[in-house]
């Protein structure tokens, strides 16, 4: 800690990720004394991201300096692939002139965030592990680290997906395996030129690409899993998010599953001859709206992953982290003004979240993951297979009458998976879409 007049701050934030930093700078900008504590020696070194942060949310917190952030590539090309054992059917979009996300390494990016926060007057305490929160007269009012007690009017928990503090103090229940995704990832070194060539990126630009893969794991009982890839300046990431309940049920290891994806004939050429730089793993809380914790209590607020703010469908998390951190910061400033840190005052945070995309999206997406998860078999195996069969007819010039081929395709589309199951799939799809739009 650079300065230590007294061990009392206006606010203490536990965890120096996007949510914690957004909260910290918002409070510092309001003129209050704020301490940001982080258990690692260097921010970001306990963290892992699939690959990209969302720029709209980043710009909102750092409108003047975001371009100086250690961005690897602007991700403006997205490809979603349905994989069978040996084929790929893709949908892609490409916006080379208007990037909305950028690939980053957490160690560099989070450290940059902290440096920006320090410039704005945030006190930063690295290598500081909070063991428990201090509660007096029904109010959370400080933290107990390995070395000392530090007090504040409000504590913000930005301590990530495992948030031991939130569980310890009854602010949230534990996640169940079905609501938790384990993501494993490898960073693989490839030359700039090879990356530009393999991902069809204009030479010498900072443009980049993301890939998503559904299926292709060559397993009869496939777990609910989604593969991803992101391009960096001179490396790529490849990873797989797998539902923890499925890993459990089928006795699978996440690293072995990632090897299956890496061996897929449509994926292998993308990483060929690359050298693995780093292997990593992280949990994603996907319980969503139905599993929200207590977002605030007397003297405490939960933000980011600690609050379970994830939209798994769109791979969104960092944007929720930045936004929730900002709303928490604004709420703390309002509370400091009237010197009231009760749950009633801090409820302003919930109100702000409800008026924003954070809780609006979480609410409208509340059933989707459950819907998709209930259709795992069809998503991971049946539809990729049928998409592949369709395009084999469409592009195959098989010297057979197309009428027969397409009719046969339709008959099998229904026969191979009973009408009942097809209707269930359709219903899951319709109710998901309706949930978002209603």
Partner 1 sequence: MSDDKAKKTIEDKLTTIKYNCDSESHLVIDRELCKNCESRCCTYICPAKVYTYDENQNIINVDYENCLECGACRIACPYGAINWNYPKAGYGVVFKQS
Q: Check residue 325 for interaction with partner 1 (CB under 8 A).
A: no
197: contact with partner 1 by CB under 8 A: no
Choose, by CB under 8 A, the member of 273, 340, 404, 416 that binds partner 1.
273
| Cα–Cα distance for residue pair 67/64, rounded to 1 Å | 8
Q: For residue 297, state whether it binds partner 1 (rule: CB under 8 A).
A: no
- Our CB check for partner 1 shows the closer of 46 and 385 to be 46
Instruction: In whole angstroms, give the CA distance from residue 222 to residue 83.
Output: 12
C-beta closer to partner 1: residue 149 or 273: 273
Whether the CB-CB separation of 28 and 117 falls below 8 Å is answered with: yes
Query: Helix or strand or coil: residue 110?
Result: helix
Residues 6+ apart with CB under 8 A from 253: 247
Q: Which is nearer to partner 1, 13 or 252 (CB)?
A: 252
DSSP conformation class of 140: E
Counting every residue written for the chain, the total comes to: 438
Contact status: 194 vs partner 1 (CB under 8 A): no
Is 107 a binder of partner 1 (CB under 8 A)?
A: yes
Stretch that binds partner 1, among 279-287, 315-323, 354-362, 393-401 (CB under 8 A): 279-287
Structure tokens at 279: 């292997």
In this structure, is the dihedral angle defined by the CA atoms of residues 314, 318, 324 and 326, taken in order, positive or negative? Answer: negative
> Look-up: residue for tokens 């961005």?
71
295 three-class SS: coil
Binding mask 137-176 for partner 1 (x = CB under 8 A): --------xx--------------xx-x---------xxx
Among 65, 212, 266, 280, binds partner 1 (CB under 8 A): 280
Among 253, 355, 398, 408, binds partner 1 (CB under 8 A): 253
Rounded to 5 degrees, φ, ψ at 81 are -125, 135
**Applying CB under 8 A, does 243 fall inside the site for partner 1?**
no
Size of residue set near partner 1 by CB under 8 A: 55
Decide: 83 and 264 in contact? Cβ < 8 Å: yes
DSSP 8-class letter at 206: -
Contact residues toward partner 1 (CB under 8 A) are 39-42, 44-49, 105-107, 127-129, 145-146, 161-162, 164, 174-177, 180, 182, 184-187, 235, 237, 244, 247-248, 251-255, 259, 268, 272-283
């Amino acid at each position: 800690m650079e300065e230590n007049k007294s061990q009392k701050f206006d606010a203490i934030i536990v965890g120096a990720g996007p949510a914690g930093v957004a909260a910290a700078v918002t409070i510092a900008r309001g003129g209050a004394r704020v301490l940001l504590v982080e258990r690692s020696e260097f921010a970001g070194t306990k963290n892992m991201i699939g690959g990209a942060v969302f720029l709209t949310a980043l710009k909102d917190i750092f409108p003047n300096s975001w371009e100086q952030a250690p961005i690897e590539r602007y991700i403006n090309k997205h490809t979603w692939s349905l994989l069978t054992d040996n084929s790929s059917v893709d949908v892609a979009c490409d916006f080379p002139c208007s990037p909305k996300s950028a690939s980053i390494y957490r160690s560099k990016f989070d450290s940059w965030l902290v440096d920006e926060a320090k410039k704005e007057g945030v006190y930063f305490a690295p290598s500081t592990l909070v063991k428990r929160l201090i509660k007096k007269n029904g109010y959370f009012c400080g933290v107990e680290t390995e070395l000392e007690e530090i007090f504040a009017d409000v504590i913000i928990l930005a301590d990530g997906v495992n948030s031991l503090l939130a569980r310890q103090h009854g602010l949230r229940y534990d996640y169940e395996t079905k609501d938790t995704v384990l993501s494993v990832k490898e960073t693989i070194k490839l030359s700039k030129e090879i990356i530009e060539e393999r991902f069809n990126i204009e030479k010498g630009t900072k443009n980049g690409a993301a890939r998503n893969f559904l299926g292709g794991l060559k397993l009869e009982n496939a777990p609910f899993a989604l593969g991803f890839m992101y391009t960096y300046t001179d490396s790529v990431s490849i990873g797989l998010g797998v539902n923890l309940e499925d890993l459990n049920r089928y006795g699978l290891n996440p690293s072995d599953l990632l090897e299956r994806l890496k061996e897929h004939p449509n994926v292998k050429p993308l990483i060929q001859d690359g050298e693995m730089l780093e292997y990593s793993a992280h949990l994603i809380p996907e319980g969503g709206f139905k599993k929200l914790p207590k977002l605030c209590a007397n003297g405490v607020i939960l933000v980011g992953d600690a609050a379970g703010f994830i939209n798994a469908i769109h791979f969104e998390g960092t944007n929720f982290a930045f936004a929730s951190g900002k709303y928490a910061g604004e709420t703390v400033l309002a509370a400091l003004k009237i010197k009231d840190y009760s749950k009633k005052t801090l409820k302003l945070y919930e109100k702000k979240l409800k008026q924003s995309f954070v809780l609006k999206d979480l609410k409208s997406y509340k059933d989707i993951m459950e819907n998709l998860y209930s259709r795992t078999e069809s998503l991971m195996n049946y539809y990729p297979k049928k998409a592949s069969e369709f395009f084999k007819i469409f592009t195959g010039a098989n010297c057979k009458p197309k009428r027969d081929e397409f009719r046969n395709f339709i008959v099998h589309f229904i026969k191979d998976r009973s009408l009942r199951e097809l209707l269930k799939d359709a219903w899951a799809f319709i109710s998901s879409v309706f949930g978002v739009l209603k």
